[in-house]
Structure 1
Amino acid sequence: MNAPAKPRLVIAITGASGTVYGVRMLEQLRASGACETHLVMSASGALTATQELALKRTDIEALADVVHNVKDVGATIASGSFKSAGMVIAPCSMKTLASIAHGFADNLVSRAADVMLKERRKLVLMARETPLNLAHLRNMTAVTEMGGIIFPPVPAFYTQPESLDDIINHTVGRVLDLFDIPHTQLVKRWEGISKLTQNEYH
């Protein structure tokens, strides 16, 4: 199989709150053309998108280059021979986290994630739940020990965000940074504490 013309990124959207992160990532990558996006969305993810964003499944699927059915465990992204830069689950429900942590591979989301781990490719889980119980924490530890990256969408306030969009964009940009995918105007880079602030504490 020839190498793809540009990097492929698998993006999964599951039923946790925070569908906007997956949608914003798709929007950014569609606008930049930085990579070929492969979307797989669970039924709960589509339901949450309707509730949170008033978007239909087809609205979100239109943002991706390739769309896969969550029940299609024979899809290209279910095989390690399918080359990709990795996978982001945005957001990642605790059910999906548990499935990945225990290697269930019971649908295309968890199967594709399993592929990323076995092929030693980057897997980023934007785990969304609070508070966390011990099962959640142990599952996060298990995925981390297997090489996955747990990336809860926690806002950064040092950037002094002025809107919800600022918070969302910064978080999405930081995830794309993990894959070295170029983007513009998403992340306000840390430039150190200002001299004025330093002087106040000396």
Structure 2
Amino acid sequence: MKPVIVGISGASGSMLAMETVEELLRREMPTALVCSNAGRLVWQEELDVSFTETLALWQEHPGFTFHPINDLRAPIASGTYPTSGMVMVPASMNSIASVANGLSSNLLLRAADVCLKE
């Protein structure tokens, strides 16, 4: 089964991101995650738990991988990466505008760009 890429941006809606990842893992779907720095801050504010703590729990799942936001050499940055698709949840207006205009200054935006092109 090909992984689903989940991108977390800095918009409000961290609960939706958490539920999305947890549902994918519950269904045993391989999941590749990337989270913006703003996404981490909003996560803490909205959920009252650090993103790092949640990430540690998810990393116990064998089908889960995490990629740092600035790692443009990560596999999900390549068009050859086999994926079932990508969801950006929550999606900030900045991220949406960047994807719409082909601007990929970090891994979240690059992965979205690649998914649209492929």
Fold similarity call, TM over 0.5: yes
- After superposition, residues 104-143 of structure 1 pair within 5 angstroms as 104-119=103-118
Runs of 4+ in 1 over 4 A off after TM superposition: none
Are 1:29 and 2:28 an aligned pair? no
Cα distance in 2 for residues equivalent to 1:107 and 1:31: 28
**Structure 1: tracts of 5 or more residues without a match:** 1-5, 120-202
Q: CA RMSD in A?
A: 1.1
1:7 Cα shift? 2.5
Report matched runs for 1:58-137 at 5 Å: 58-61=52-55, 62-63=57-58, 65-119=64-118
TM-score computed with the length of structure 1 as normaliser = 0.54
In 1, the alpha carbon distance for the partners of 2:30 and 2:108 equals: 17
Q: 2:13 aligns with which of 14, 18, 32?
A: 18
The equivalent residue for 1:51 is 45
Query: Cα offset for 1:30?
Result: 1.7
Structure 2 SS opposite 1:114: helix
Q: Which residue of 2 aligns with 1:40?
A: 34
| Bigger Rg over Cα | 1
Q: Distance in 2 between matches of 1:71 and 1:26?
A: 21
Secondary structure of the residue aligned to 2:88 is: strand
SS of residue in 1 equivalent to 2:102 = coil
Please give the alpha-carbon distance, in whole angstroms, between the structure 2 residues aligned to 1:108 and 1:88. Answer: 14
The C-alpha deviation readout for 1:117-170, integer Å capped at 9, x for no partner, is 110xxxxxxxxxxxxxxxxxxxxxxxxxxxxxxxxxxxxxxxxxxxxxxxxxxx
Letter in 2 for 1:39: L
Distance of 1:46 and 1:20 partners within structure 2: 12
Percent identity of paired positions between Structure 1 and Structure 2? 38
Q: 1:9 aligns with which of 4, 16, 20?
A: 4
Using the alignment, how far apart are the partners of 1:118 and 1:86 within structure 2?
11
State how many pairs are aligned. 113
Distance 1:53 1:110 in 2: 24
What are the Cα deviations for residues 101-124 of structure 1, in whole angstroms up to 9, with x where unaligned? 1111100011000000110xxxxx
Q: Which residue type is aligned with residue 95 of structure 2? A: T
Query: What is the Cα deviation at residue 60 of structure 1?
Result: 3.0
| TM-score with structure 2 setting the length | 0.91
Corresponding letter in the other structure for 2:14 = T
Hey, what's the Cα distance between the residues in 1 that align with 2:15 and 2:96?
A: 19
The structural deviation recorded for 1:63 is 2.0
| Long gaps (5+) in structure 2 | none
